[in-house]
Structure 1
Amino acid sequence: MIDRLEKEVDMLERHLQVLRMVLDNEPIGIVKMSNETGYPHHKVRYSLRVLEEENLIEPSSQGAITTERTAEFVDELDEKLDDIGDKLSTMRIEDPAEIEG
């Protein structure tokens, strides 16, 4: 169960790193992103597809570019991540004796 969550967080981190590269370097292509991040081309391509499905980027003849929705998403991102962090913090079991009952 936790392993799946960790994999999802890792994938989200990759998607956000790819989005950050587009924001900082648009237009930017898969090869450059792969070379700079160290992620294989297929993982960068998948992240780009996810970001495109969310309307955060769009393809151009010269590489990925941001959309009108990107700025709004970025503005809300920190708050959403803080909310998720708070929710995860409430899931902690501080005292192992609580489990034993």
Structure 2
Amino acid sequence: MIDRLEKEVDMLERHLQVLRMVIENEPIGIVKMSNETGYPHHKVRYSLRVLEEENLIEPSSQGAITTETTVEFVGDLDGKIDEIVDKLDGMKIDDVPEIES
């Protein structure tokens, strides 16, 4: 159960790293992103597809570029991540009596 969550968080981290690269270097292509991040081309391509489906980037003849939606998303991102972290902190089981086997 937790393994799936960890994999989702890792994938989200990759998507956000790819988005950051587009923001900082637009237009930017798959090869450059792959070389700079160390992610294989197919993983970068998948992240780009997810970001495009979310309307956060769009393709151009020179590479990926940001959209009008990107600024608002980035502005809201830290708050949303903080909310998730708070929710996860609330799920911790700190004061559980020792379980005997």
- Stretches of 4+ aligned residues off by more than 6 angstroms: none
Deviation readout 1:13-56 (Å, 9 max, x if unpaired): 00000000000000000000000000000000000000000000
RMSD of equivalent CA atoms? 1.2
Structure 2 residues without counterparts, runs of 5 or longer = none
Give the alignment of 1:17-96 within 5 angstroms: 17-96=17-96
Please report the TM-score for the alignment, with normalisation by the length of structure 1.
0.96
> Which amino acid letter does the alignment assign opposite residue 12 of structure 2?
L
> Which amino acid letter does the alignment assign opposite residue 40 of structure 1?
P
Q: Structure 1 residue 95: deviation in Å? A: 2.2
In structure 2, distance between residues paired with 1:4 and 1:29: 30
Deviation readout 1:41-100 (Å, 9 max, x if unpaired): 000000000000000000000000000000000000000000000000000000231767
> Which amino acid letter does the alignment assign opposite residue 64 of structure 1?
A
Please report the TM-score for the alignment, with normalisation by the length of structure 2.
0.96
Residues 89 and 99 from structure 1, CA distance in 2 versus in 1: closer, same or farther, beyond 3 angstroms?
farther
> Which amino acid letter does the alignment assign opposite residue 68 of structure 2?
E
Structure 1 residues without counterparts, runs of 5 or longer = none
